[in-house]
Amino acid sequence: MKDNSTLALALLGLLHADPKSGYDLRKVFASTPMGSFSDSPGAIYPALARLEKQGMVSSEVEGTGGLRRRRLYRPTPKGTEAFRAWLEQPVTADEVIHRMDHLMLRFAFMDPVLRPERIARFLRALQGAIAAYLPTLHDYLDAHAREMTRSGRLALECGIREYALQLEWARSAAELYEQRRRKEA
Amino acid sequence: MKDNSTLALALLGLLHADPKSGYDLRKVFASTPMGSFSDSPGAIYPALARLEKQGMVSSEVEGTGGLRRRRLYRPTPKGTEAFRAWLEQPVTADEVIHRMDHLMLRFAFMDPVLRPERIARFLRALQGAIAAYLPTLHDYLDAHAREMTRSGRLALECGIREYALQLEWARSAAELYEQRRRKEA
DNA sequence: ACCGCCATGTAAAGTGTTACATGATTGG
DNA sequence: CCAATCATGTAACACTTTACATGGCGGT
């Protein structure tokens, strides 16, 4: 579902690697670079409950061995389907401008779920969208450089360089997936 | 105040350039790269009302000439004080990891408010914090590269390159502000 | 016995999103 | 005159933040 929060999608993606408890997920956000998400229980437990209510994940209290009530979550077929649909959404200009982190998150989760040619297609679309956006940033800078403060200008220049870096990264990553496809064929 | 939202700080910063109406501010977010903020009235008008209730901005309906009720906001001395305090906050490791955009926003607003040597100090602190964080990312990648999926690894590599870019950018920007200080001295 | 970690949750408060409502003014 | 744009706001809803509450387990 497109109406799920980024946190919910990240949770669903992590559960596709292997079943995890809420506490496990909190630790992932607290201890890996996969962060920028909140590891607070007030965000994660309600999000898991919502996913379960939607039928995206199922849960069971872990085996009677440990005696500790650890509720393990795993994606349902419906959840996998919705997750795949999220991954396969087209790359929009809006996302490139306002939600690049969202796009990188999607890419990071693609490998076990999508075929290489599909991933390559995503990367080429991303490359194209960044290539289309970069000139408008340059134009803006050229047009407004004089009215802007020095620090404002420098901040924008940093942003432009970041997009240029991501453009080059997307290009080389796409090549990797295209090579991989050829090899496997 | 540190308990204001990023949007509120961005609004306060934009008002320091010159007085603006809520609609002006919406247009800024809708039409400039300064975006990633919402241009929705449901976010901006309540945020302006909160700032006014806190005494950070004052407003007056624009001169009787136009007949159009345009409410212009401008920062109060208290608002300027709070804004400067926000800009002068130390660079923390947590911000570098989770809120880099926040740090760039602060930098972008510094020029008219802070003295060059103060800005240079911020940039050197930022440079140091990134330089301290980058090795932990490399270590994480080295330690977990095998368990990670190909796309997860590539996404992390992109993130690392971005930090490396920002590190170099902060270094060169700091030099600019240090040169400027010497020239002015 | 006590401290700290594992583990799950809830409640209140604040904030952003979406959608709607309201009018005045300008251009064709 | 009609449509688009200017301009301000509100209400319902969903989500995150912060803080709190609970309880078992392991080590000293």
pLDDT in tens, B42-91: 999 999 999 999 999 999 987 655 556 899 999 999 999 999 999 999 99
* Local structure of residue B109 (DSSP, 8 states): T
Question: What residues of chain A lie within 8 A of the CB of B119, using their CB?
Answer: 151
Strand C within 7 A of A31 CB: no
From the alpha carbon of A67, which nucleotide's C1' atom is closest?
D24
Question: What is the structure's pLDDT at A34?
Answer: 84
In angstroms, the separation between the Cα of residue B104 and the nearest Cα of chain A is: 6
> Phi and psi for B111 in degrees, rounded to 5?
-55, -45
Distances (CA, A) of B107 to A31, A74, A117, B33, B68: 28, 43, 41, 15, 35
Question: What is the structure's pLDDT at A2?
Answer: 63
Mean pLDDT, residues B24-50 taken together: 93
Distances (CA, A) of A122 to A114, A117, A173, B114, B159: 10, 9, 10, 43, 18
Positions of chain C reached by protein Cβ under 7 A: 6-12, 14-21, 24-25
Yes or no, beta carbons of B159 and A109 under 8 Å apart: no
How many whole angstroms separate alpha carbon B45 and alpha carbon B25? 10
Closest by CA position to A7, among listed A46, A63, A60: A46
Chain B residues at the A interface, defined by Cβ less than 8 Å, are: 32-33, 35-36, 97-98, 104-105, 107-112, 119, 137, 140, 149-152, 154-159, 161-162, 165-166, 169, 173, 176
Question: What residues of chain B lie within 8 A of the CB of A156, using their CB?
Answer: 33, 108
Token duo for residue A101: 């982190």
Torsion sign (Cα): A48, A53, A56, A60:
positive
B130 CB-near residues (< 8 Å, 6+ apart): B96, B163, B166, B167, B170
Question: What is the structure's pLDDT at B62?
Answer: 79
Token duo for residue A122: 């995503």
Question: What is the structure's pLDDT at B183?
Answer: 58
pLDDT at residue A72 greater than cutoff 80 = yes
Yes or no, beta carbons of B159 and A104 under 8 Å apart: yes
Q: Are B137 and B160 in contact (CB under 8 A)?
A: yes
A117-172 residue pLDDT tens: 999 999 999 999 999 999 999 999 999 999 999 999 999 999 999 999 999 999 99
Can you give the distance from the CA of residue A42 to the C1' of nucleotide D19 in angstroms? 10
Three-state SS for A24?
A: helix
Count chain A–chain B contacts defined by CB atoms under 8 A. 90
Taking residue A182's Cβ as centre, other Cβ atoms within 10 Å add up to 10
Question: What is the structure's pLDDT at A69?
Answer: 81
B150-177 residue pLDDT tens: 999 999 999 999 999 999 999 999 999 9
